[in-house]
Amino acid sequence: MMRWALGTLLLMGLFACQSSSLGPEPTEIEIAALAWIDDSTDAVAHLTQQPATCLTTPDDISVKRGALLFSSPLLLGGQAAKAELRCAACQRNGRGNDAFVFTGISGAPGTADVTHGLFSKIRADDVFNPVPIPDLAQAEGRRLVDRDAPGALETFLSEQIVEEFSGTPPEDHVIEDLAAYIRALDEQACDINAIEPQAWQSEIDLVRVTLVQKEYSGSYKDAMRAALGRIHARYPAHPEIRADLVALSRDIASYADLMAVLPALDDLSRALSAAEQGSLYNPERLARALR
């Protein structure tokens, strides 16, 4: 009897320790991508994993900046941006998204009507004609535009942003970085069927790379702040980390020399790492939160 009671106490103590290090269970999930998942999809897997990175030059600085911009809602403008949609919502990690469903825009999961007037009137055609979302690393995605013809991909991307969505015409260097990212997407660079975890580290890596460039247009600042926002959504049980993320985002918005925020980014990385198990990057934690 005594041993049973002692065991129970020990278990309770262990549980209490674990709970306090993980933080309280979140009661509300703010992950934007949750709104675009087909009901039949395993949400936990979808929100904690993604198609493998398929980049021929993953360490190229321009490719990394392009990857960050690819996840920036404000690049698209209009209703898409208001819904926090971004290029990477459809092309996760530059690949595809079989689970994508957006009311009024999608037919079957994984499709979108790219000429729907909801996002832009320029290409609106009054016909509901959703098409499968292509994987940009595979032939279906590479066929969209000749990536080798000089300027063709750049023109295509600029028109997508302005005409398919309601974005303002991006600066040339923004388009150059996006184009570098798209050109680097190639199925030969990975196991095409592999998956990898979604992680705050990759978001922070892209922010860090973008911070150290010398000239910042608004688009890069927007993209960095959006990345911090996505991490913020994954740490609902850690108010101090969240406050640091908000402070960093505001500093990025207001500072002229962003190198000044690098120490804060280092501190933040350490805090994110220490609290990772309690974040919604942890599938078990996310599964409990989704129940």
Partner 1 sequence: MKRALLVAVAAIAFSGVPAMAGGSGSGSSSPSSSAPSYDPVEEYQSGVEALQAGEYKKAERAFKRVTKVAKKDANTRYMLGLAHLGQEEYKAAAKSLEKAVKYDAKLYRAHAKLGMTYLKLEKPEKADQVLAALADASMACASSCPESADIAAAIAEIEAARGSAEPLETSSLAPVVQQVSLETGDVLYSEALRLINLGAYDEAIAELREAGTILGPHPDVLTYIGFANRKMGERETALSFYTAALSIAPDHLSANEYLGEYYVELGDLDRAQAQLDKLNTLCPFGCEQTEELSEWIANART
Kindly list the residues in this chain that would bind partner 1 in the complex (CB under 8 A).
Answer: 28, 30, 32, 34-39, 43, 73-74, 77-85, 101-105, 116-121, 124, 221-222, 225-226, 228-229, 232, 245-246, 249-250, 253
How far is it, in rounded angstroms, from Cα 213 to Cα 64? 12
Q: Which residues pair with 197 in a beta bridge?
A: 49
Q: What is the DSSP string of 129-190?
A: --EEPPPTTSHHHHTTS-SSSTTHHHHHHHHIIIIIS-PPPPPHHHHHHHHHHHHHB-GGGS
Residues forming a β-bridge with 131: 112
Q: Which is nearer to partner 1, 22 or 74 (CB)?
A: 74
**Choice between 63 and 289, CB closer to partner 1:** 289
Q: What is the CA radius of gyration of the chain?
A: 21
Nearer to partner 1, 67 or 228 (CB): 228
Whichever of 199 and 246 has its CB closer to partner 1, that residue is 246
Question: For residue 137, which phi and psi values (nearest 5 degrees)?
Answer: -90, -15
Considering the complex, what minimum distance in angstroms separates the CB of residue 19 from partner 1? 25
* Residue 290 beta carbon to partner 1: minimum distance, rounded to whole angstroms: 9
Q: Quote the least distance from Cβ 288 to partner 1, whole Å.
A: 16
> What token pair was written down for 188?
């030969």
Choice between 91 and 249, CB closer to partner 1: 249
How far is the C-alpha of 194 from the C-alpha of 271, rounded, in Å?
A: 29
Shortest distance, position 10 Cβ to partner 1, whole Å: 38
User: Among residues 173 and 242, whose Cβ is nearest to partner 1?
Assistant: 242
Contact 249, 229 (CB under 8 A): yes
- CB of 10 or CB of 108, closer to partner 1: 108
What DSSP character marks residue 49? E
Q: In the bound complex, what is the minimum distance in angstroms from residue 79's beta carbon to partner 1? A: 4
Give the residue among 288, 278, 284 at the shortest CA–CA distance from 234.
Answer: 278
In whole angstroms, give the CA distance from residue 258 to residue 111: 39
Residue with tokens 């997407």: 185
The residue type found at 248 is L
Q: How far is the CB of 16 from partner 1 (least distance, A)?
A: 30
How far apart are CB 123 and partner 1 at their closest, in Å? 11
